[in-house]
Structure 1
């Protein structure tokens, strides 16, 4: 059976949970679009996250990869368009590292685009009532680090891959007054839709900024 690799991160920045991993593990083992979802938790650590990603790619041999990360302050499912070749950490990672203006891959290209049909996914999510948008920045912390490393590893492989940011869970937002959140059942239902489209949809060549 074909596999979809779904990754989430361990908690970081003082949080007790990370919604990306709660979401990923909730979908582990499901069949979506004729593919089995295999979920893997990655450390919020520069370098080590990519090492464990490489191990998962070699073991699972997926046809599609969706990496997920927490973005406190965002209010929807954000499909990332581009990963840039820079680590520039605002806070230390979970191992205490705080790289400043360092490349993810020395001598690598400046950036990679997602190879997921991100506009089709956003349109499909919105059509079913889920909040979603195309995002133009994945930041410069471990999420972007992972996204860039993923795209670098799979460049020209034919495997569809990309990154999605999600908001806090309600229990996290309770400790961040005014921060938006989405409940886990909503995130799970939306990500089922996103994964089905990720494996099969053709990209939309329309919409422009309307999907931003």
Structure 2
């Protein structure tokens, strides 16, 4: 589990703003599951999805997301992962492959949290008309449900670090809105055998 508690340049969970927020959420919610739910609710509700508010600022690292108060699904997932790891809760990144409606695909980012020895996928994207997400340890309450007929899919690995191809796409962009509308997001995961990973639960 060490990889799912580790810090890297994106999941910068030792940043003072991250540790302070995580400690406050934990103090108000001392139980591990309650803390995980509070971290999820904060990320879903208090950090806005860039496309929902037309915010062009590109955020990548967890601390950038917290400072800006906005990010794409991936960025919000980086923040949630950092908050959880800051308080010792194992968490990783997982993805879906979704249709862009024009014959292509793009990645959608989420978080997998390990509680009581099991992995649970959570989607902190944020709600909008037609999209509702909730923290759940029973049935998954995700923003999107892949449609096989459109080539959509849940991608299997839970990564300890963000997909490098996705991070590169974000780092190379100077406008979040343009990145999304011009199909600048990767359509699949980068193949890297050296990245810590586990498989999604059946």
Is the pair's TM-score, using the shorter chain for normalization, greater than 0.5?
no
TM-score relative to the length of structure 2: 0.30
